A and B are shown apart, each in its own frame.
Chain A
């Protein structure tokens, strides 16, 4: 018995979507406004009299924004690749093999995913500084493990458990080794789960702020979130450029969300909802 939606419901829906999307809409308008309309009496107008792409151009010509994008892409991609690889093995073992201590390991993984980043920052900062790893990609990828690996192990374990274990048993009966079972039977079935988890890890690494803020302070090594926050000067805040940069970062995320929404939602909710 699912209730049918009435007209009142659609009004609510439109209102809801409008409220959620309004900040983006307004930022888009701000990004397209020339300074004369961004401030002063036209500041609150929806209609742009002289729209221009100046802000978008300036973000790339007057600021190293392309460099920030590249840094974020490198760090997030490498973090995702390596944590997914290690986590896949671990999650496979937890979900499909029988050995003692699995519950404890899973508990540790869950506990570590709750660690506040701030509690690890001082030794990690001092270590990276003494090893000369501040302002490097490796210097961010290593600490990103603190959240990426537990997130990946946790999600993958949940996904892998849903794959019927009988398939593994059947393979075993047919004489397949554990390695063969893993690579031939298991991984093809696990790919959707791996892919979903990779999206979640990538977004988490892309959005990370505290480590990036403290470890990579050189202009050429900053990631996107840190770079945008640092646009603000001592006395002025270049709202036009900040808006343009925010739009540039948001658009690919929106596209990704639109394409992968089902996967992302199943990844996000699988931990919280028991089916």
Chain B
């Protein structure tokens, strides 16, 4: 079979597109979906998205016999009316179970899971959860509530031999009932008035604007300086690449050592030169920590910025400067009339990538300050990470992650509007 060029093109590009769809685009959409649900990985009934009522069969199979056994034991020791009452409670429980098992599927699964648990085998996920109709759901909840209150009262009247066990066994079963955890835009609404979120957003913006501005000015200055013939160009090039090449967290750890309040040489130098009142200030005060984070970022990425701008400078034809000199333009005029306009697209592309990187900052701050002290360097990515992996609140954390995503989208759309087709190069052609 011979394919046309067009078919061949689609065939070659297909694997890449499919993978990007599955591994990058789908997760972002899924993140948004998760952010509409109350998902907590430390709460067994909320570990995933539940759109309807359901039953955690494993838990149910495990806990139902406990209640039955408890009621039987109490009935055995109880006397008269109390005994009657306990036996009727036991019957209610069994009836509840029977109604539930009228659905053939639940009965079958009950058997299988019971068997698996007896053999100490893990219960596979696809067996675990069944959906419940709202009637089934109500019947379970009302029965359990009734049993709970009756047992409670009997306990108060000293009719039970072990009243303290009652609540446990009833709650065991209720916790196997899964409620839908859809919360809509509740998290987003909460964040609108959440001072910690706004603080984190402010920190992120402050860090982004200040560090990118410094990197741009310094980078341009260095690029202009090294844009001439000199011995040792290769050395400079290699020097410039090394901070870029090492893992961000490693540079963060290095700076953490340099800033250390007791043994840090940079902290020591700052103290000696009077920049800070004492060495501890750098990592333990709010302003000091933000300054430290920005300085470390400037150190790591300015060389990269200089490199990009230097490459851009080299594409400007010398004839332009020669002509300008003949016309008597000053160096300053040459810079603003020739260099800057010719460098515009390189400048904007470098700025775009730097701004996005700075806005998404995570590694550097995670390793250097952890977001402290007192959340003063906590950026929105750090906050999202903490919400997800420290509090295990995935719904809420995903909402923050989506906020990061929206901000990044806004920033890049802004730049692309200015850049226009420049960014995609000649993709329209060929």
Do A and B come together as binding partners? yes
Q: Which residues of A contact B (CB under 8 A)?
A: 1-5, 9-10, 12-13, 16-17, 19-21, 23-24, 26-27, 30, 38-39, 43-44, 86-87, 89-90, 92-95, 97-100, 102-103, 105-112, 114-126, 130, 142-143, 145-146, 149-150, 153, 158, 161, 165, 177-178, 203, 206-207, 209-210, 213-214, 224-226, 228-229, 237, 239, 242-243, 246, 249-250, 253-254, 256-258, 261, 264-265, 268-269, 271-275
Residues in A with CB closer than 8 Å to B394 are 122, 126
Q: Which of B22-30, B82-90, B129-137, B195-203 lies at the binding interface? A: B22-30
User: Mind listing 6 A-B residue pairs with CB under 8 Å?
Assistant: A21-B242, A24-B254, A207-B248, A225-B363, A242-B257, A273-B315
Contact for B265 among A16, A26, A109, A111, CB less than 8 A: A26
8 nearest A-B pairs in the assembled complex, by CB-CB distance: A90-B16, A269-B311, A123-B30, A99-B9, A5-B230, A97-B9, A120-B27, A93-B12
Contact for A105 among B17, B236, B250, B388, CB less than 8 A: B17
Contact for B322 among A1, A130, A273, CB less than 8 A: A1
Q: Is the CB of B20 within 8 A of A253?
A: no
**Known contacts A20-B240, A119-B404, A268-B308: does B258 contact A98 (CB below 8 Å)?**
no
A117-B362, A228-B249 given; 8 more Cβ-contact pairs under 8 Å: A93-B12, A122-B388, A146-B27, A150-B20, A225-B250, A257-B238, A272-B346, A274-B346
Q: Is the CB of B424 within 8 A of A20?
A: no
Complexed CA–CA distance, A69 and B321 (Å) = 50
The range of chain B's interface size is 35 or more
**Known contacts A103-B424, A119-B31: does B257 contact A272 (CB below 8 Å)?**
no
Residues in A with CB closer than 8 Å to B408 are 114-116
**Known contacts A44-B265, A103-B424, A124-B27: does B225 contact A17 (CB below 8 Å)?**
no
Q: Is the CB of B230 within 8 A of A10?
A: yes
Residues in B with CB closer than 8 Å to A275 are 315
Contact for A20 among B303, B367, B400, CB less than 8 A: B303
Digitize B259-277: 1 where CB-to-A-CB distance is under 8 Å, 0 elsewhere. Answer: 0101101001000000000
Complexed CA–CA distance, A95 and B361 (Å) = 33
Chain A: minimal CB distance from B272 (Å)? 9
Q: Is the CB of A97 within 8 A of B230?
A: no
Q: Is the CB of B315 within 8 A of A117?
A: no
Q: Is the CB of A17 within 8 A of B16?
A: no
Residues in B with CB closer than 8 Å to A39 are 262-263
Q: Is the CB of B48 within 8 A of A126?
A: yes
Digitize B121-163: 1 where CB-to-A-CB distance is under 8 Å, 0 elsewhere. Answer: 0000100000000000000000000000000000000000000
Determine the residue in chain A with the shortest Cβ distance to B359. Answer: A116
Determine the residue in chain A with the shortest Cβ distance to B350. Answer: A272
Determine the residue in chain B with the shortest Cβ distance to A4. Answer: B229
| B405 part of interface (Cβ distance < 8 Å) | yes
Residues in B with CB closer than 8 Å to A209 are 247-249, 362-363, 366
| B104 part of interface (Cβ distance < 8 Å) | no
Contact for A272 among B41, B312, B398, B405, CB less than 8 A: B312
| B389 part of interface (Cβ distance < 8 Å) | yes
Q: Is the CB of A87 within 8 A of B16?
A: yes
The CB with the most chain B CB atoms within 10 A, among A10, A44, A109, is that of: A44
The CB with the most chain A CB atoms within 10 A, among B16, B125, B398, is that of: B16
A-facing residues in B371-398 (Cβ within 8 Å)? 381, 384-385, 388-389, 394, 397-398
Q: Is the CB of A112 within 8 A of B24?
A: yes
| B71 part of interface (Cβ distance < 8 Å) | no
Complexed CA–CA distance, A107 and B20 (Å) = 12
| B360 part of interface (Cβ distance < 8 Å) | yes
**Known contacts A116-B404, A249-B250, A256-B245: does B23 contact A146 (CB below 8 Å)?**
yes
Residues in B with CB closer than 8 Å to A90 are 12-13, 15-17
Q: Is the CB of B249 within 8 A of A225?
A: yes
| B180 part of interface (Cβ distance < 8 Å) | no
Q: Is the CB of A253 within 8 A of B422?
A: no
Chain A: minimal CB distance from B279 (Å)? 11
Chain A: minimal CB distance from B293 (Å)? 15
Digitize B226-245: 1 where CB-to-A-CB distance is under 8 Å, 0 elsewhere. Answer: 11111110111111111101
| B284 part of interface (Cβ distance < 8 Å) | no
Complexed CA–CA distance, A94 and B409 (Å) = 25
Residues in A with CB closer than 8 Å to B363 are 209-210, 225
Determine the residue in chain B with the shortest Cβ distance to A29. Answer: B265
Contact for A274 among B9, B231, B315, CB less than 8 A: B315
